[in-house]
Amino acid sequence: KALSELDPYKLKVLAVSSVGIGGLLCYLAWRKKTDKIPFGDGWWRVGQKPLTEDRTIHLFVVETSEEVLQDLHERIDKTRYTDSLEDGRFHYGFNSAYLKKVANYWRHEFDWEKQVKVLNKYPHFKTNIEGLDIHFIHVKPVQRAGQKVLPLMMVHGWPGSFYEFYRILPLLTEAEGDFVFEVICPSIPGYGYSEAPQVKGFNSLAAARIFHKLMDRLGFTDYYVQGGDWGALITSNMAQIKPECIRGLHLNMIYARAGSAQTIISLLVGRYLPFLVGFTREDVRRIYPYMQKNVYELLRESGYLHIQATKPDTAGCGINNSPVGLAAYILEKFSTWTDFENRTLEDGGLEKKFSLDDLLTNIMIYWTTSCIIPSMRFYKENLGTDYHKRKDNTAKVYVPTGLAAFPHELRHCPWVWARSKFIDIRSYTYMPRGGHFAAFEEPALLAQDVLQFVKKVESKRPK
């Protein structure tokens, strides 16, 4: 009745508004959520931010001195060891007998001056962003005829460094095929040659933003990012805060968790009817027995995380004064996170996959820069403050993503769980070998996976 009372003009207005409102509602309901995290800003020194910003990039050379070596040697000589328990192996932590061997090598055979030359074979730089001197290496590729050069930033984690990438860099910067990479490996602020924040609150979102600013300052508008450990979180954050700059995201550590009800159900069902919940056979093999592999093992291995996320300044104080203590603390991770079975070995299986020279070079970066405490604070700044409430935790990642699932990674994440966070997975690979320190341990495998992922992404990009 009401409608029939209206004149044609009013009817038209009503029709158009309804369609308009309906369309708007449809759009709101079905639009692609972008979950964009604000880019933000920061200043990490004590005191006021100056009016002008220093954007210069200056060369940096890793140096050493006689005093540094002398002091190191004296401290190693004065180490007070505690005998391991009978048949303790690596179950109580780093085995004392093997630690003495490592320390002995470090004292008498490790050549730091030679390793410094190795570090300097790629050009190093520093530039000041948000108040901190950010260190990075910039590796230009050997470009063959007809090859595309793609920029790539690779981000390390804890207790690693940019040095972890030295074995994979040649494979990516001298690759044959359609493209080759120009690689930037920065140091996270508080790690190695990057300056440490002086004020509270520096977390992975801040690191992500700083790395975007770095790429921008270097003239890159569009680039790939790759990472594991903290590097995985930081590069994911980079994809969340400025997706338009991220050509592709490749991770060797997948930290996505499906929502709890879904996870529990898929865990309960997945063991017996994996196909029902989207698990593959390989997923089943890697996840179960669940309590053992995921809960028990993680509890056993996360003591360091717990203390660093709550009392980093206390945790790092002693080992900043004891090179052998620092080595035990860090190398325990290179042992256990490469393969849990290493805990049953007298020597932790360290030298199966890594050379002592490489391992000690990484430790020297922590030792010579006294950065162990700032590196640990990153845990508290990220995890100590309601991580699950952070926007980036629930927000999804929309850029083309490649995931490399290594068999001895701390935790396995099936594709079906990863999908809930990474919306555009172009590649998901069950890697045949390798653990947490993928680039360091299995550079050829990781390089291969990065290349195939990039190839997929590039082939789908509009010309």
Where along the sequence are the contacts to a copy of itself (CB under 8 A)?
Answer: 46, 71, 75, 78-80, 82-88, 92-96, 99, 197-200, 299-304, 306-322, 324-326, 328-329, 332, 370, 372-374, 377, 380
To a copy of itself, the closest distance from the beta carbon of 297 in angstroms equals 11
Sign of CA dihedral 156, 162, 168, 174: positive
- Selecting among 124, 212, 224, 229, the annotated active-site residue is 229
- In the complex, the smallest distance separating the C-beta of residue 323 from a copy of itself, rounded to whole angstroms, is 9
Distance of closest approach, residue 87 Cβ to a copy of itself, in angstroms: 7
Q: Peptide bond before 141: cis, by omega within 30 degrees of 0?
A: no
Cβ proximity of 438 and 445 under 8 Å:
yes
| CB-based contact 457:247 (threshold 8 Å) | yes
Which residues does 223 contact at the CB level (< 8 Å), separation at least 6? 150, 151, 152, 153, 215, 245, 246, 247
Residue with Cβ nearer a copy of itself (313 or 341) = 313
Give dist(CA 32, CA 44) in Å, integer.
35
Geometric angle at alpha carbon 12, from 7 and 13, rounded to 5°: 100
Give me the least distance between CB of 120 and a copy of itself, in Å please: 24
Residue pointed to by tokens 């992404």 = 457
Cα-atom radius of gyration of the chain, to the nearest Å? 25
Which residue number, 251 or 373, has a Cβ lying nearer to a copy of itself? 373
Residue 436 annotated as catalytic:
yes
Q: Is 379 annotated in the active site? A: yes
Shortest Å, Cβ 327 to a copy of itself: 9
Q: From residue 157, give the alpha-carbon distance in Å to each of 2, 206, 275, 400, 432.
A: 68, 15, 34, 22, 22
CA 305 to each of CA 301, 302, 308: distance values in angstroms, whole numbers, following the listed order: 8, 5, 5
Coil, strand or helix: which one is 240? helix
The minimum distance between CB 299 and a copy of itself, in angstroms, equals 8
DSSP symbol at 296: I
Q: Whose Cβ is closer to a copy of itself: residue 40's or residue 303's?
A: 303
Give catalytic status of residue 283 as yes or no: no
Which residue among the candidates 283, 366, 436, 449 is catalytic per the annotation?
A: 436
Measure the CA–CA gap between 183 and 165, rounded to whole angstroms: 10
Nearest CB to a copy of itself, comparing residues 96 and 147: 96
Decide whether 53 or 313 has the Cβ nearer to a copy of itself.
313
* Closest to a copy of itself by CB, 18 or 104: 104
Q: In this structure, what token pair is assigned to residue 275?
A: 């196909």
Among candidate residues 379, 398, 428, 449, the one labeled active-site is 379
**In angstroms, rounded to a whole number, what is the distance separating the alpha carbons of residues 289 and 215?**
43
Write out the catalytic residue numbers: 229, 379, 436
